[in-house]
Chains A and B, each alone.
Chain A
């Protein structure tokens, strides 16, 4: 079923609200390649990189940061402290909005 756009009410403050943007930090050389972050990210934000790290394994890389909800699960499940996620601080507007 395709719902017509008219069926949905648009909140009045849609213009003012901006969804928080994620800043995913991966330290590739700390990664041991367990793939937990890739596998258990509920939004499938991460994928295997095609570049080997110092250890000779493929760390994760961000496939689509815009899908990230900053739930922090990837950081919490990483046994190697190789990935962390914070909210992007963009005072002058985020890069992708410019």
Chain B
């Protein structure tokens, strides 16, 4: 039978604004895989789509907010977490997910990240780390590896990169995981887990950028990059996040943090209740 004759819609179609498909991402870009895993997680959890909000910042991956068929917002550069914090505190019944890039979340938006993690704001942050500013032509950013070539480090990068999972853990995130774009099942499971958990969660997705970063750093085709991820990734659940730097020969992946801590929203509500009760007592006297 010919393929086209039995063409049905993709099972995730209802989660996508399908009139906007195909998306703008390049062939083999990890962003599409991240989105696929996220939507599969929503599907498997049977999440009420009226109860979920997706917020993105600026960048290639920032387009994700425009593709998901739920209430979403594409914020200004670096402000996704600030916006998401507001949404969550205004309506705690909503599940708020931030999907954004390494540049957006950790350069211009870096302070929002560490303080949201410290305050344990109940939002889920998923970062596509492609080690550069893809959208603007491949400038270096806070995750660009030492010596890597980017358009703004033509002689090689001389800055040390952040280890994002260490930063998240040290700042106070209650759930921290890292996967590569090849670990689709585990990534999806981590997203499901974080959605079912209260507090600030952070998932880093090591993502191919075959058009810019991988091409200029001579990593070959998207398939070569994925094979390389397979070769050098090492699954180590519960490993000390401080010891998970990404090197040329190893990408430590796994679930590094999974702890309980009351969220900011819960503490805020408890405090509000306490103060209101005190006021009532005072008035009654």
Question: Do B28 and A34 touch across chains, with their CB atoms under 8 A apart?
Answer: yes
Q: B184-210 interface mask toward A, CB cutoff 8 Å, 1 = contact, 0 = none?
A: 110010000000000000000000001
Q: B18-35 interface mask toward A, CB cutoff 8 Å, 1 = contact, 0 = none?
A: 000111011111111101
Question: Do A79 and B36 touch across chains, with their CB atoms under 8 A apart?
Answer: yes
- Closest CB of chain B to A37's CB: distance in Å? 10
B3 at the interface (CB under 8 A from A): yes
Cα A34 to Cα B25 in complex, Å, equals 12
Cα A61 to Cα B2 in complex, Å, equals 10
**Pick the contact of A25 from B6, B22, B35, B184 — CB < 8 Å?**
B6
Q: Give the interface SS of chain A, mostly helix, strand, loop or mixed.
A: mixed
Question: Do B32 and A76 touch across chains, with their CB atoms under 8 A apart?
Answer: no
Give the A-B pair count, Cβ closer than 8 A.
Answer: 81
- Closest CB of chain B to A85's CB: distance in Å? 9
- Closest CB of chain B to A82's CB: distance in Å? 8
B223 at the interface (CB under 8 A from A): yes
**Pick the contact of B11 from A36, A80, A86 — CB < 8 Å?**
A86
**Pick the contact of B184 from A26, A35, A73, A95 — CB < 8 Å?**
A73
Question: Given A76-B40, A77-B182, A81-B16, are A36 and B21 also a contact pair (CB < 8 Å)?
Answer: no
Cα A75 to Cα B184 in complex, Å, equals 10
Chain A contact residue count (CB 8 A cutoff)? 28
Question: Do A79 and B30 touch across chains, with their CB atoms under 8 A apart?
Answer: yes
**Pick the contact of B223 from A26, A32, A39, A73 — CB < 8 Å?**
A39
Question: Do A76 and B184 touch across chains, with their CB atoms under 8 A apart?
Answer: yes
Cα A34 to Cα B3 in complex, Å, equals 19
Cα A81 to Cα B40 in complex, Å, equals 11
Question: Given A32-B22, A33-B27, A73-B184, are A78 and B32 also a contact pair (CB < 8 Å)?
Answer: yes
Chain A residues whose C-beta falls within 8 Å of the C-beta of B40 in the assembled complex: 76
Best-surrounded residue of B1, B11, B30, B35 (most CB of chain A within 10 A)? B11
Cα A80 to Cα B36 in complex, Å, equals 8
Question: Do B3 and A28 touch across chains, with their CB atoms under 8 A apart?
Answer: yes
**Pick the contact of B23 from A26, A76, A80 — CB < 8 Å?**
A80
Chain B residues whose C-beta falls within 8 Å of the C-beta of A84 in the assembled complex: 8, 10-11
Interface residues of B in 126-153 (CB under 8 A from A): none
- Closest CB of chain A to B194's CB: distance in Å? 18
16 A-B pairs with CB atoms under 8 Å apart are A27-B7, A35-B221, A39-B226, A39-B227, A62-B3, A76-B40, A76-B184, A76-B185, A77-B36, A78-B33, A79-B27, A80-B22, A81-B10, A81-B12, A82-B10, A84-B8
List of 3 A-B pairs having minimum Cβ-Cβ separation, nearest first = A79-B32, A34-B28, A32-B27
Given contacts A79-B28, A79-B35, A81-B13, 8 further A-B contacts (CB under 8 A): A27-B7, A28-B3, A33-B27, A34-B27, A62-B3, A79-B27, A79-B36, A80-B32
